[in-house]
Structure 1
Amino acid sequence: MSFSGCQHLQAFKAAHGTQSYRIIHKYFIAALSTEARLRKARSCVCHTCKTTTVRLHSCLHCVYFGCYGANHIQEHAASKNHTLAVDLVFGAVYCFACGDYIYDGELEGIAGENGKSFEDSIGLDGCWVPTDVELQLLHQNPKRRKISDNSTIGLRGLINLGNTCFMNCIVQALTHTPLLRDYFLSDKHNCQMINESERCLVCEMCRLFQEFYSGVRTPHIPYRLLHLVWTHARHLAGYEQQDAHEFLIAALDLLHRHCKGNNGLSSSNPHHCNCIIDQIFTGGLQSDVTCKECNNVSTTIDPFWDISLDLGPPPGGDARNSLYGNGDEPSSLMECLRRFTRPEHLGSSAKIKCGKCHSYQESTKQLTMKKLPVVACFHLKRFEHSTGYHKKISTFIPFPEELDMTPFMSSSRSHNNGYQTQVVQEAASSLSSQNKYSLFAVVNHLGTIESGHYTNYIRLHKNQWYKCDDHMITKASLDSVLRSEGYLLFYHKQILEYE
């Protein structure tokens, strides 16, 4: 985007003023009410091909909407000599003469008056949040011209290609992750792979999202995705049953590596990336190690995509290795998180050299959340592997529909009895809304560790749940979701949710 101004835009404003931009922004960009958004969805159609697209632009000189991806707005600009158009997602002005988007302080002020500026399309920590994608997609399904409670657009089964239920359930969770869905349906990926023989997983995910939200109801066969996974993650190749959690991490890692070439940041710093995967899934885990001799605290912060939570008793089967443990198995997700974030005595066999004492001392270690991701994924460690011993933990762990992570934040710590032992506080009466989450997907494992099957629940609308069992999609109740065993739990930040 150019921030140096545009002579063509300045000449247009001098001759015609800003009224046309005001009208376009008020009625076709801001669209603050439900009625306004429905009107926008009905009206924002390319005047040439009669279809809707998230790359739709409105001519600033006349009444014309045109596709950017199909070059209809470009053809209109060339034939009419109309050099300026407005992007109907961001509200930015594009100059065809300059070949760039133009920043203009006066127009930005108008956008602010209408209640939605370019910055409003940017979420927390710079995460891009496209708007009105669902409304524009309604045009692609002629049977549904409005948002309704029984709309099933986005629901589609996946054929099991031979013990690939582990992949199917993760694909269902990812395709129903709101911000990830919006990114892949918004034509934002610019593939930069040089070797044509090396297929891009991000390009395939774009096609997969288009298949899911095309309105087609027949089950999809994800053979291209399976082939790419086998190519790029050889440890998952073959028709043996794989672990859904392992596939999730491998998929996120591949998408991250195929996306990060577009962000212009140094690949030498893996923690400094603004690709869509890191924007949505990456959080910051703070580790505080406190010297028991001098109370010196050493802090490190590491990125994470998910949190793995133990379901068994603490090591040793009792509370001796934890300052505040009772030795019992956790009884809920909240209890799992409390155990995960409470101080742990490292013991005399794991002494750490203190930076203040300059000698090896016993210490305590505590993990807390420094930065929460947009999507929080919790992995309940149900598969226990030890020397000659493998079992599945089928204990029912209750998990809530709405989750507040405030008690587990680094900012919620306090000092205990003057020893500066950091403990997580219980939820205060005033909890930050930025730390609240809503459940939107649950992956379950049925059977034993030797022979099992993965299914999952996904939330399509705010109060509508569906069970996905490979090619079979059935409606489910919230009660059945919350009573399921639970293996992977996906929560979305409420502050970034929209209907």
Structure 2
Amino acid sequence: MTANSRCSAAKPPGLETQRREIESLLRECELRAGDSWYVVEHRWFEQWKEFVETGDQNSSSFPGQIDNTELFEDLDSYHLKERLVENEDFVLVPAEAWHKLLAWYGMVDGQPPLERKVVDLPSTLKVEVYPVEIFLCLHSNMENVTTAQFSRADNIQSIQRAMCQAFSVPPGSECRLWMKSSDSNCERLRNIHVSVLDACLSSGMVRTNSSDQDSYRGQPGVCGLTNLGNTCFMNSALQCLSNTPPLTEYFLQSSYLEELNFTNPLGMKGEIAEAYADVIKQMWSGRHYSVVPRVFKTKVGHFASQFLGYQQHDSQELLSFLLDGLHEDLNRVKNKEYIELRDADGRPDQEVAEEAWRNHRRRNDSVIVDTFHGLFKSTLVCPECHKVSVTFDPFCYLSVPLPVSKERVMEVFFVSLDPYAKPVQHRVVVPKAGKVSDLCSALSEMTNVPPTQMVVADVFNHRFYKIYTTDESLSWSVLHDDELHRPAPYVAIDWDPEMKKRFYNENEAEKYVKHASMEVPQQQTTVQLQECIELFTTVETLEEENPWYCPVCKKHQLATKKLDLWSLPEVLIIHLKRFSYTKFTREKLDSIVDFPLSGEPPSRYDLIAVSNHYGGLRDGHYTSYAKNKDNGQWYYFDDSKVTYAREDQIVTNAAYVLFYHRQDKIRKPTLPAPNTSPASSTQPANDITSCKDDGAASYVTMETD
């Protein structure tokens, strides 16, 4: 360990003592508003855990100094990367645990500790990993802008103090603060005692006084949604629902006002429905090129704490919560009666299905049920006595699997024992559930080096992070040298420049050779939507964790189960399960699913919207395609930006959630489609929404007398 750490490391206690002390603090420390916690890079922390678990002070898994390099966007500003995920990119440790680790191991020179406060958000306490970033300027000099970070628990007065100090405002001066969000809306911040959280999330869809917005007249529904900070998932889901005709017409006609259920214990006191209605009415007024859904975001976070804050989430999960919340807020059944379910007992399927639907409607009756609910037929067969159980269950959307390949491609570097040979990059095909020995065998065929002579290592920061045994499974982290060209820490050679030039060539050391396998283009897998639906309805055997109780055998059985689609709703939502999780692998499936835009019999459905996800497992970006109900034109929605779209652009490997409308319920467009050329698909459809969208960042301007 070098001495150039930010904090000199003290002689640490034994490894078992370290492990016991830190684990105890992590286990027993509770979140309390105002307390400090610290962000630590996940990989470093995992290596520390492995080190202390070995009990060997000389182990090769020694983690070195605390190093958060991988968390920073750059090493000049030390801004955190966007969309970092807890327990995948970083871990949070309480202050006492942090100070112990810092004393024992020190910290890489120059890096600031990542201290974060616990904030008291509505209905929950959270460590605020990403503080609010606000741009500050004086009204008299809008060109001089400075950036500052504030906790959501801070009040507006703390912003005022910071601005007075930053801009040398004389004490006693009368000040007025204005918040200008990224779409140029302005709002007076009158109450200096309100929190940053409430101030940033209470203004909702503020109408600007600018001449652009006053004079704007656009196509209703062709309206962007401002990204409040990692809220593209929410915007994508909202655009799809906004372009679902029966639901949108229900809200535009204010039919919801007569059906708000304020007493439903499963509902949200009508608040979700009212907030959603406000968004829809703004989007379909034709007076806004972009809407800021702050109030809606606040309501969602209040009733579903998983959506609090500004971390990335899943558009389908938000959609599921929203449909359920709208249903309960608009449920026409005020008092749900108890209904005793009867067994099928050999009765005809049609009779049992009608009974199941009647029972469902006796407890659940809303516009959501009218529009989105259908019926599954579920058939269970006991493997022992062959008892057949048939039930009919309602559904709101289909989550269909994608066919998964049993193999995957890995890119690895082969480093020969020959010191003059350059590393060679190979692309090999291995079983997804394979072992390290499978990787060695595949590489052996390309290199003619026996697998027994290979050592497999995971390289991180130019160091051996881990050396694998041949019987270990092939995890996704194996052989991911994401820091191949970064200088190795902890090693320094002090030699004469001429000697260095003679024996070491930096340019040559960084070079590697690509094997012919790297030049072979990877095939893009294409599957039909029908294949996914057939896979969804395939007979499967129940897992041991979820057995079925057979009423004949009087015990739990691993029965076979088959789902069939019995009756389909007016609007059919199909969720493509692109995120695959098994005990061996975690991956996002980028296969192209070829789905129809208009249905021939027997499907009888037309596509009306698509939620897209671009990116990988841990991060990404959501957009949507949607068809306007009034003019029949397709549009591409990317947060506040809206562009024209063509039908041949819609089927991509990013398609994630599909919305289909039954043909016999579709109302023909009342307006002619706009004249669009192929080039116009990249042009803004709402005139002004191509302007820069700065996410959650707001400007606060100060007027002084």
Structure 1 and Structure 2 fold alike (TM over 0.5): yes
The code of the aligned residue for 1:185 comes to L
1:454 maps onto 2:521 in alignment:
no
Q: CA deviation at 1:283?
A: 1.4
The residue number in structure 2 matching 1:193 is 262
Which residue identity is paired with 1:169? S
Alpha-carbon distance in 2 for matches of 1:347, 1:231: 36
Per residue, is there more helix in 1 or in 2? 1
Aligned with residue 170 of structure 1, among 217, 223, 237: 237
Unaligned runs of 5+ in 2: 1-214, 340-358, 408-430, 433-524, 669-705
Q: Distance in 1 between matches of 2:396 and 2:588?
A: 23
Residue in structure 2 matching 1:239, options 310, 315, 323:
310
1:110-125 superposed matches below 5 A: none
1:167–1:347 CA distance, 2 compared to 1 (3 A): closer
SS of residue paired to 2:300: helix
Deviates more, 1:298-307 or 1:184-193: 184-193
Q: Which residue of 2 aligns with 1:206?
A: 277
Structure 2 counterpart of 1:444, from 588, 607, 612: 612
- The Cα shift of 1:173 comes to 0.8
Assess if the C-alpha contact under 8 Å between 2:526 and 2:592 holds in 1: no
CA RMSD of the aligned region, Å? 3.4
CA shift, 1:352, in A, is 4.7
| Aligned-partner residue type, residue 638 of structure 2 | D
- Shift of residue 349 of structure 1? 9.7
Which range is displaced more, 219-228 or 475-484?
Answer: 475-484
Q: Distance in 1 between matches of 2:626 and 2:544?
A: 46
Distance in 2 between residues matched to 1:284 and 1:439, nearest whole Å: 21
Counterpart of 1:179, as a letter, is: P
| Alignment counterpart, residue 368 of structure 1, candidates 560, 564, 583 | 564
1:453: how far off? 0.5
Distance 1:297 1:330, change over 3 A: farther
State the secondary structure of the residue aligned to 2:650.
helix
For residues 394-449 of structure 1, give each alpha carbon's deviation from its aligned partner in whole angstroms, at most 9, with x where no partner exists: 11111111346xxxxxxxxxxxxxxxxxxxxxxxxxx55xx521110001111122
Read off the aligned partner of 2:274 and give its amino acid letter.
C
Distance 1:162 1:347 in 2: 40
- Are the aligned partners of 1:379 and 1:488 in contact in 2 as well (CA < 8 Å)? yes
Q: Which moved more, 1:487-496 or 1:382-391?
A: 382-391
In structure 1, distance between residues paired with 2:558 and 2:587: 34
Preserved contact between residue 224 and residue 639 of structure 2 (Cα < 8 Å) = yes
- The answer on 1:470 being equivalent to 2:642 is no
Deviation of 1:343 after TM superposition, in Å, equals 2.0
Q: Give 3-state SS (helix, strand or coil) of 1:224's partner.
A: helix
Change (3 A) 1:339 1:203: same
1:33-432 correspondence runs (5 A): 152-189=219-256, 190=258, 191-193=260-262, 200-260=271-331, 262-264=332-334, 266=336, 271=360, 272-292=363-383, 295-313=386-404, 331-346=527-542, 352=548, 354-356=550-552, 363-386=559-582, 389-403=585-599
**One-letter amino acid matched to 1:286:** K
1:486 lines up with 2:636 in the alignment: no
- Distance in 1, Cα, partners of 2:556 & 2:405: 25
Q: Work out whether residues 225 and 291 of structure 2, in 8 Å CA contact, stay in contact via their aligned partners in 1.
A: yes
Alpha-carbon spacing, 1:242–1:275, altered in 2? closer, same or farther (3 Å): same
Show CA shifts across 1:245-265 (max 9, x none): 1100111111112111x4445
8 Å CA contact 1:293–1:362 kept in 2: the answer is no
Give the equivalent residue in structure 2 for 1:122.
Answer: none
Query: By how many angstroms is 1:489 displaced?
Result: 0.6
Instruction: Kindly provide the amino acid, as one letter, of the partner of residue 176 in structure 1.
Output: N
- Please state whether the residue corresponding to 1:247 is helix, strand or coil: helix
The Cα of 1:392 is off from its aligned counterpart by 1.5
Which letter maps to 2:376? L
SS at 2:262's partner residue?
coil
The 8 Å contact of residues 224 and 637 in structure 2, kept in 1 or not, is answered as: yes
Deviation of residue 274 (structure 1)? 1.3
**For the residues of structure 2 that align with 1:235 and 1:155, how far apart are their CA atoms?**
29
Please report how far the alpha carbon of residue 347 of structure 1 lies from its aligned counterpart in structure 2 after TM superposition.
Answer: 8.4
Aligned-residue offset at 1:451: 2.1
Contact 2:372 2:569 in 1 (8 A): yes
1:300 counterpart SS class: strand
For the residue of structure 2 that corresponds to 1:207, the secondary structure is helix
Q: Is the contact made by 1:397 and 1:485 (CA closer than 8 Å) also made in structure 2? A: no
- Larger radius of gyration, structure 1 or 2? 2
What is the CA–CA distance in structure 2 between the aligned matches of 1:403 and 1:297, rounded to whole Å? Answer: 34
**RCO higher in 1 or 2 (8 Å CA, sep ≥ 6)?**
2
Sort the Cα spacing of 1:295 and 1:178 in 2 relative to 1 into closer, same or farther, 3 A. Answer: same
Distance, in Å, in 2 between the alignment partners of 1:314 and 1:484 is 16
Give the SS at the match of 1:402. coil
SS in 2 for 1:339: helix
**Quick check: 335-344 or 478-487, which moved more?**
478-487
Aligned to 1:20: none
**How many residues are matched?**
313
Partners of 2:309 and 2:392 in 1: how far apart? 36
Residue identity in the other structure for 1:476: A
CA apart distance, 1:385: 3.2
In the TM superposition, residue 389 of structure 1 has moved relative to its aligned partner by 4.7
Q: Which amino acid aligns with 1:342?
A: T
- Give the whole-Å Cα distance in 1 for the aligned partners of 2:542 and 2:262: 46
Report if aligned partners of 1:445, 1:454 keep a CA contact under 8 Å in 2.
yes
SS at match of 1:250: helix
TM-score by length of 1: 0.56
- Would the alpha carbon gap of residues 359 and 246 (structure 1) be closer, same or farther in structure 2, given more than 3 Å must change? closer
User: SS in structure 1 opposite 2:229?
Assistant: coil
- Deviation, 1:154, is 1.5
SS at match of 2:255: coil
CA distance in 2, matches of 1:440, 1:248: 16
Distance 1:283-1:241 versus aligned 2 partners, 3 A rule: same
Structure 1: 4+ residue segments shifted above 6 A: 314-318, 347-351, 359-362
The secondary structure found in structure 1 opposite 2:614 is strand
**TM-fit CA distance, 1:230:** 0.6
3-state SS of 1:495 partner: helix
Give ranges in structure 1 of 5+ residues lacking alignment: 1-141, 145-150, 319-328, 405-430
**1:491 to partner: Cα distance:** 0.7
From the superposition, tell whether residues 389 and 482 of structure 1 become closer, same or farther in structure 2 (CA, over 3 Å): closer
Q: Which residue identity is paired with 2:277?
A: C
Give the percent of matched residue pairs that are identical in Structure 1 and Structure 2: 33
Deviation at 1:498, TM superposition (A): 0.9
Which 10-residue stretch deviates more, 437-446 or 330-339?
A: 330-339
- Superposition deviation, residue 310 in structure 1: 1.5
- Relative to structure 1, is the Cα distance of residues 344 and 389 closer, same or farther in structure 2, using a 3 angstrom cutoff? closer
Cα 1:437–1:238 shift into 2, 3 Å: same
Letter in 2 for 1:266: K
Give 1:393 shift. Answer: 1.4
Q: Report SS of the residue matched to 1:299.
A: strand
